[in-house]
Amino acid sequence: MLRQIICGTLLVVATSSANSIVGVSPEDQHLYNPTIIDGIQYWHCLNDSSIRLTYDQINDNYCDCPDGSDEPGTNACPDTKFYCTNKGHFSNYIDGFKVNDGVCDYDYCCDGTDEIDGLCQNKCGEIHQQYIEYKEGVDKFMETALKNKEKYLQIAKGRKDQLISKQRKEQNQLSLLKKQWEGLQLELENNQLQAELEQEEPSVYQALSDKFNDLNQKLQVNKDSVNSNNNNIETLEQILRTLSNNYNPNFNDPAVKESINKFKQYISNKQQHVDKRDIFEETQNVVDKLQETAKSLTYGGEIVVPTLTNTIHYYFQLFTNTFLKSQQPKVSHFSNNELSGQIDQLEKQIKTLANKLKDTTTDLNTNAGPNDILRAYDTINKKIAGYHYRINLLNSIYQDDILIGRFKEYKDDKVYFDYGSRCWNGPQRSGDVEFVCGKGPDIVSVSEPQKCHYHFIIQGESWCNVLTEEEVRGNFKIDYDKL
């Protein structure tokens, strides 16, 4: 009996007006115009015209069409949408299965048309007034937020400009230091080259000094040996001469007599004595003269086949010495040791500055979000659930003294951090930061969706953008306590 009453009521609703099918928007009402054949009204399923229904089968709470198009105002068919007029507010659609479920879904149908007449009051006027107040608040907030956002954008731009200026300054300083290094290096090489050019070629005596020393030593040894032998001969001759002069001929000693006779024969046949010391002196004089002559002669060294580099160097020096004699090489005011010390010092400065430039360039090339907005913020602090969190968006995140992670990258509207302190019996900590529009900067939530991985939500004006009417409507929530 109740089903018959409901169906009768629905039939009256469906047929009361050819242009007013419940659950259908005004724009789609024409899709439900009947076809009259022999005075009878018919209608075809929207997605299958081969299925023909009588007009009173629309919204009869029975699903006849596979696409459910015959039941726009009931919950008989799955995956359908019910149109709510919501006069005085904004029209909307509600899922078909929520129609006539006994719940007043004012978020979708503030006029209550999704339920049986009388179950839900029309609240569109009150809800729309809430929306107007909400929109005014949103507009007021957005006006201030966008001004603050512009300030942060200017801060970000200023800090990036400072980085660019710092990079250029370090590049110029590095270039200057390298030029200074090159100048000192060239000066040192010139000093060394000048010293080589001014160095005298070795003399023959210098080249043969070892051999001259050896010859002089051998001459002295031979001289000493000859002198010793001469002294021994003179001593022996004196002994024999004494024996010969004092010999007693009456003493009949054939051996003595024979020795005396041979000595006398030796003396008579002995040539006039030649002093061998004179020979040695003459020999030494010859050697001394040879040494003096050798000192005045230069020694060219070994014959070397010149390399291409040496050949170019030789002809370059020949050219400069021949045609550029008036141009004297630059005289250094520093010794080679002093120049080497300055070069070492410059090399240390160059290395230090090169590392600083590398860090600056890396910082400058880091993706810091849209318009480099992350650069505008210093450390964001907040105590949540007994923990003190410190977030530096381009550096690190700390929970008290525990490192959650260091900056990894900005990607897909989030900042990722990794290589934090290792969890007890777990992996290294890591985290990510998500941003929403709101008054800030403020850490609004911290969660741990995975073991030792932390998820932060930060709200701030920098992430606010001009909202469309649809976005404002979508964000609006009804305050049911005021209904």
pLDDT tens digit sequence for 137-156: 999 999 999 999 999 999 99
Give 272 or 436, the one with higher predicted confidence. Answer: 436
Q: Is residue 407 situated within a structural domain?
A: yes
Residue 58: pLDDT above 50?
A: yes
The answer to whether position 100 is within a domain reads yes
- CATH code where residue 427 lies: 2.70.130.10
Same-domain status, 16 and 115: yes
Q: Do residue 118 and residue 11 come from a single domain?
A: yes
pLDDT value at residue 3: 41
Structure confidence at residue 15 as a pLDDT band (50, 70, 90): very low
Inside any domain, residue 188: no
Residue range of the domain that includes 251: 204-295
Please give the pLDDT value at position 187: 87
Q: Average pLDDT, stretch 283-310?
A: 65
Same domain, 16 and 116: yes
End-to-end CA distance of the chain: 36
- Res 378: pLDDT: 96
pLDDT of the residue at 305: 52
**pTM to 2 decimal places:** 0.63
| Structural domain contains residue 164 | no
Please check whether residues 282 and 382 belong to one and the same domain. Answer: no
Amino acid code (one letter) for 135: K
Distance CA 360, CA 225 (A): 85
84 phi, psi to nearest 5 deg: -105, 125
Q: Decide if 193 is inside a domain.
A: no
pLDDT of residue 307: 58
Q: What are phi and psi of 317, to 5 degrees?
A: -65, -40
From the number of C-beta atoms within 10 Å of its C-beta (0-12, 13-18, 19+), residue 311 rates as: exposed
Domain ends where: 122, 155, 179? 122
Q: Number of folded domains in the chain?
A: 3
Residues 116 and 208 grouped into a single domain: no
Q: What is the mean pLDDT of residues 284-299?
A: 72
* Residue among 151, 217, 66, 199 nearest 373 (CA): 151
The mean pLDDT value for 201-222 works out to 74
83 within domain boundaries: yes
Low-confidence winner among 57-66, 134-143, 302-311, 432-441 (lowest mean pLDDT): 302-311
257 vs 155, higher pLDDT: 155
Strand pairing partners for 45? 48
Per-residue pLDDT of 417-431, as tens digits, reads 999 999 998 999 999
pLDDT at 36: 96
Residue 202 pLDDT > 80, yes or no?
Answer: no
Closest CA to 212 of 299, 279, 290, 301: 290
Cα 145 to Cα 464: distance, rounded to the nearest angstrom: 7
Among candidate residues 232, 264, 295, the one where a domain is terminated: 295
For residue 70, the 8-state DSSP code is T
Query: So what's the pLDDT on residue 30?
Result: 95
Mean pLDDT estimate for the chain: 86
Does 381 share its domain with 290?
Answer: no
Q: Which residue has the higher pLDDT, 302 or 135?
A: 135
pLDDT at 323 over 90: no
- Domain closes at, from 94, 122, 150: 122
b vs e for 421-455, b when ≥16 Cβ sit within 10 Å of the residue's Cβ?
Answer: eeeeeeeebbbbbbbebbebbebbebeeeeebbbe
Task: Kindly state whether residue 110 falls inside one of the protein's structural domains.
Answer: yes
Q: Both tokens of residue 223? A: 């001289």
How many whole angstroms separate alpha carbon 461 and alpha carbon 441? Answer: 7
The pLDDT assigned to 235 comes to 84
Beta bridge partners of 399: 389, 402
The rounded distance, in Å, linking the Cα atoms of 362 and 17 is: 72
Q: Classify residue 99: in a domain, yes or no.
A: yes
- State the pLDDT confidence band at 204, using cuts at 50, 70 and 90: low
Is 61:8 a contact under the CB 8 Å cutoff?
no
